[in-house]
Structure 1
Amino acid sequence: MNQKRTYLILSILIVSLIGIFYLLFPGTSTKENTSYQGGLSEETLTRQENSLFEGGSFLDFSGHVEETASGPVAVVEEPGSKPSKTKSYLESLSPEERAKLYEQMYERFKPLTEKFPNNSLIPKKLSEEELAKKKENEDHYYRVQREILERKDVPKEEMSFYLNAKLKRSDDMLEILKYGMENYQKLVGENPKNANLEYEKLLKERLDGISKSREEVISAQKEN
């Protein structure tokens, strides 16, 4: 009984997590088929695989264009000024409310964190040092990515860092999507009424797109 309950909870969480990915980063795009350094395509370079939680993309909708999507904002009237200042949803919260919101997210996805402890896309608590290191790596990652897209000559060491990080992100995303597909198929097998053909199609397209991008990255690693 407990095992079935745990399975149901994990199924709901993984479907929720995948749904959030689709909400912020919907499907594949029709990027121009142009090759960049290492033979990488523009679609692979700009594909989103970053964490939606620890990096702030899920809660903060006003950040870097490569990492976030537009979302709810709070309008705050400042005394003595007519124009209204818009703030992101996260910025509009007090420190206490923000901390509470993060705690709720960490607790909600705790079963998945325990199942996939090394997956960087699932929310987990980090120390200040870990957060600082994560931000440093993300800044480094996007700087190299920008240089590749600008067709600058990226040194081998920098290219190696980028490709390793890109592969890790792809693997983490595939791990979540494959687990989501597995649970979806089990749910449909138990009750055909649970079938959602649109969701299934999107999931398959996402799996296919990331798998192809992953092969590009591996090929680029061999050439680097």
Structure 2
Amino acid sequence: MSDALSEEFFAEVGDKYYPQVLEGLEKLGAGEVAAGIEILARPLHTIKGVTGFMPGFEAASHLTHKVESFLKKLQAETLPHSADNISLAAYGVNSVFAVIEQIRDAGAPDQGEIDAVCEVLLAATGEGQQGAKSGGADCLLREDTPAGTVLRISCPRMHQKAQADQLVGAILSLPQTAPVILDLTGVKSFGSSVWEDLAGLAGMWTIRVRGLSGAARETFYTWEFDAVFQLEPECACPGGEIL
């Protein structure tokens, strides 16, 4: 993207909108949710409108609309101001700017990444198909190996209480004499509340984690769960039986 209108927009994003967004995200992180959303609303609304009229930027406008909708639900308190929802809000906002950078640098956004962000936001509000399915009984794959029992998460989003209960129940059914290895390869986001439920077991079972990436990795380190769970190098593992 090198035309004059695009270059002017990119300059505005870097010089004007992003500093405002950083201020809003800082307030969100400090627990000042209403003030943070009010600050974020102005640059996001402008970005949504401008990108909606610029050829090649339609995907950025669509994503910004989804992020705005999520923020409005937080603002109206139809969504709780939980740590997970605040983290998802920040994730969505940062994703808008990541998509704009992709358009600037590569000429087109990563549509798969956009779809993933939209999906996790919808799942958190209970509106997406994944939100309806994610508590299903096929969320875990089990494989017994010489190194321990591998529990592979087959759901791309792990946030719901039913999912946490299934994972905790699976670990409780295992002997404490061998390590439990959580394989998060392919998991896009993993809620801090689910980690907290698992942390209660870490003193009785040796729980190791591998395959962290994306928002799941960000949450893991932001909430310092690396002090609770052991990390394993990434590896390719064969499929196991469905729990």
How does the TM-score come out when normalised to structure 1?
Answer: 0.33
Instruction: Indicate the structure whose relative CO is greater, using CA pairs within 8 Å and at least 6 residues apart.
Output: 1
Structure showing the higher strand proportion among its residues: 2
